[in-house]
Amino acid sequence: MKVTLEDPKRGNPLLLIVLIIVSLALVTVYFREGDSGPIHKLRSGMLEVAAPFERAGNAIVSPFTAVGSWFSDLSISREDLESLEAQNDELLARLAELEEARQENERLRELVAFAEERKLTTLGARIIGRPTSSWEGVITIDRGSADGVEPGMPVLAAQGLVGQVLEVSKNSAKVVLITDQRSGVAALIQSTRIPGVVEGSIEGDLTLEFVSSEEKPVEGDVILTSGLGGVYPQGLVIGDVTFVEERRGELFPRITVTSRVPIAQVEEVLVLVGAVLDTDVDEGSVE
C-alpha cells in the first residue's frame, strides 16, 4: 500500500509583499507627519494603555533584581578571601600583643607607685620560675648578682610582701616565699599594734604566732611587718586575719593569715636592695 505525503502549504507571497508595502507606507507617513498626526496619536494611546502593565511588571521584577545584585556584590574570589583571613589573623595577633603590653604597663605602674609611696630603693624583676609542687615555696626571678641582688634581700609585690632572696646566681635568684615552712616574719596587728611572728607551713598556710588570747585579733584585721630584726621595713602588708580559734590547753590561739599576693598570677616583683639577712634560712626561720 503506497502512502503519499502532501507538501505543506506554502505562505502566500502576495500577502507578504502587501504587508511590506503597507509597513513602508506607514513608516514614511509616520516620519513625514507632525506630532499631532494620526499615527503619532495612535502610538501615544497604545503607550498609555501599556504603561500600567509595564509599571506592574517592573514592580514584580525589581525585588528579584535587587536580590540578585546583592548576592552578586557578596561574591568574592578565594584569593581575596584568603587575603582577608590572613589580615584578620594578623590584626588579632597584634591586638593580643597590645593587650599584653597594656596589662604589663598597668602592673609596672602599680609597682612603681608602691615603691615611690614608701620611698623604697628597689630593683624590678620578672618571675621566671614558680613552685613545682604544693609543698615547695620558692620562686625564681630574672635578677642576680650581676644586678646587685644578694641573699637575704626582701622581695615585694604591689599587694604586699612576697618573700626573701634565698640563693643568687649571676643572672637569676631564688626567692623563698613567706608561705614556705622555713619562713618567719616579725609582724604586728595593725589595729592594736600587738607584735607576733607570721610563719609559713608545708601546706602553704600562714599563721600568726605568739599572740595571747587576751590580745588576739579578729577576722579582717590587717597584719603588717613590724620592722624588728632589720630585714623588712615596717608597715609592709603581710595579709589579713581570716580565722581565729582558741585551742584548749594551748597558751596561744590559732590565728590564720591569708596573704594578699596572688603568687600564681604575679609576674613582676620588686627586690628591696640594701637589706641583707645575716642568718642562713636553712638553719632556721627567716626573720
pLDDT for residue 284 is more than 50: no
Average pLDDT over residues 2-17: 60
Q: Which residue has the higher pLDDT, 275 or 19?
A: 19
The pLDDT assigned to 261 comes to 92
Supply the pLDDT for residue 278: 38
Q: DSSP characters for 147-210?
A: GT--TT-EEEETTEEEEEEEEE-SS-EEEEETTSTTBEEEEEETTT--EEEEE--TTS-EEEES
pLDDT for 111: 63
For residue 151, the tally of other CB atoms under 10 A from its CB is 16
C-alpha cell at 97: 600583643
C-alpha separations of 82 from 86, 87, 111, 188 in Å: 6, 9, 44, 64
67 vs 1, higher pLDDT? 67
Which class is domain 122-281? mainly beta
- Per-residue confidence (pLDDT) for residue 57, from 0 to 100: 63
Decide: 108 and 268 in contact? Cβ < 8 Å. Answer: yes
Give the model confidence (pLDDT) of 102-139 as tens digits: 665 565 566 666 566 656 688 989 999 998 776 789 99
Lowest mean pLDDT among 18-27, 35-44, 101-110, 122-131: 101-110
Q: Mean pLDDT across the stretch 170-198?
A: 94
Contacts of 74 (CB under 8 A, 6+ apart): none
Please state the pTM of the whole predicted model: 0.58
Helices and strands of the chain, counted as H and E runs: 3, 12
- pLDDT attached to residue 249: 77
Please write the tens of the pLDDT for every residue from 212-254.
989 999 999 999 999 898 788 888 899 999 999 988 878 899 9
Report which residue type is found at 125. A
Better pLDDT: 123 or 15? 123
pLDDT of residue 204: 86
Looking at residue 105, what is its pLDDT?
59
Residue 164 confidence (pLDDT): 94
Averaged pLDDT of the chain:
78
Banded pLDDT at 69 (limits 50, 70, 90): low
Strands (DSSP E) found in the chain: 122-129, 138-141, 154-157, 160-168, 173-177, 184-189, 195-199, 206-209, 222-225, 237-245, 254-259, 268-272
Phi, then psi, of 206 in degrees rounded to 5: -110, 140
Q: Which sequence spans correspond to the domains of the chain?
A: 14-71, 81-119, 122-281
